[in-house]
Amino acid sequence: ERRREHLVSYTRRRLAEQLINRGASDADVSSAAEVLTPEALTIGFARRFATYKRGTLLFRDPDRLDRIINHPEHPVQIVIAGKAHPQDNEGKDYIKRIVHLTRQERFRRRIIFLEDYNIPVALRLVSGSDLWLNTPRRPLEACGTSGMKALANGSLNLSVLDGWWDEGYHRDFGWAIGHGEVYQDYEVQDNIESRDLYNCLEKEIVPLFYQRGQDDIPRGWVDKMRASLKNLVPVFNSHRMVQEYMNRFYLPCARRFNALCKDGFSGAKDLSTWRQKLMTSWHEVSVEEVVSEDRLDRAVGQEVKVLARVRLGPLAPEDVTVEAYYGGMDQNEDFVERETVPLRPVESNDGLHTFRGQIPCQKTGRFGYTVRIMPSQQRLENRFVMGLVTWA
């Protein structure tokens, strides 16, 4: 609560400075001391105002937002900060619309936009907010690091299931907007997810924050904070990130570099020769036939046996990876989930190579598979680096 009080005091001072710089009247400048209250549930929203982050989603239904934040017994207040790229006119328009709304009398004391967003402003918001809001358009959010910083300061998160929150979300740690859907119609998406946002605030978040005993402590809220800190901070932090980069990328890259440089760069020369062979011969690679050796109506837990006959030209079976590409499908026969399983070479005859394998049936529903050929994973840092693939 002390950090919320610090955020309220900081916001009032900064708002007064904004009004003075804007040439506002003495009465307007004095009114900055009346905004926000140290006791109200405080929502933070601070980030780059790129359009996919949907900074205006919270304002889609101003009347409903009015009822939420100006509740006579359970008030809510929102502190917003951010900048748009100088070339992003739509992002700048988002900010203009928000600022216009915050000047309405019903919002003036409850929603504050802080100008000139920078690191000190971000520090105040992530440390003083009770709830951190993030509303990206799934699946465009790469990470969402502001939510991680708020998490480390004890804030709970309310976010679309995208970026880090798609991995970190659990109902015991915070709240989700939607269920991870991806929409083709953005207007429909914004209508649905804004309603979900309001419902979550009205029915879950605000009641939990104001549910208090005689000691005036929101026990349920505190329990959620503790669970969030205990379970998420050890995973979503820079120490783990650097360790993971080192183990997954830097050390393997260093080992590979040393291996290629040994014996007068003989490894590098062999790799270059092999890659050249693949590049000049790949046009001869093809999938001749794919056969299922079982009925396709299999039960969960069973397997589908797959046989593929392929031509590789001058390449050998060990030069390539042949794999089954499979998963659940929608009504249009497009994959909605994708997995791969390698097929093993079992026979070669007159340039025709036979590969076999089993596809596990792990879920019910519509299911499909195909076969693809790629360069061998064993000789490359990753199998996609050469950009070569042949599909059945």
Q: What is the per-residue pLDDT for 186? A: 95
Place of tokens 């036979």: 354
CB 319 within 8 A of CB 376: yes
Q: Which two tokens stand for residue 226?
A: 């503790």
Would you give the DSSP letter of residue 104? Answer: S
CB 390 within 8 A of CB 375: no
Q: What is the per-residue pLDDT for 297? A: 67
Q: pLDDT (tens digit, 9 = 90+) per residue, 98-127?
A: 999 999 999 999 999 999 999 999 999 999
pLDDT < 70 stretches in the chain: 293-298
pTM of the predicted structure, to 2 decimals: 0.78
Euclidean distance between the first and the last CA atom of the chain, given in angstroms as a whole number: 61
Mean pLDDT over the full length of the chain: 94
CA-based angle 249:252:257, to the nearest 5? 115
Binning the chain into helix, strand and coil, the percentages to the nearest 5 are 45, 25, 35
H or E, element range at 311 = strand 303-311
Q: Which class for 243: exposed (0-12), middle (13-18), buried (19 or more C-beta within 10 A)?
A: exposed
Domains of the chain (ranges, CATH numbers):
2-236 (3.40.50.2000), 272-391 (2.60.40)
Would you give the DSSP letter of residue 55? Answer: T
Q: pLDDT (tens digit, 9 = 90+) per residue, 331-343?
A: 788 888 889 999 9
C-alpha to C-alpha distance for 363 and 257, rounded to whole angstroms = 42
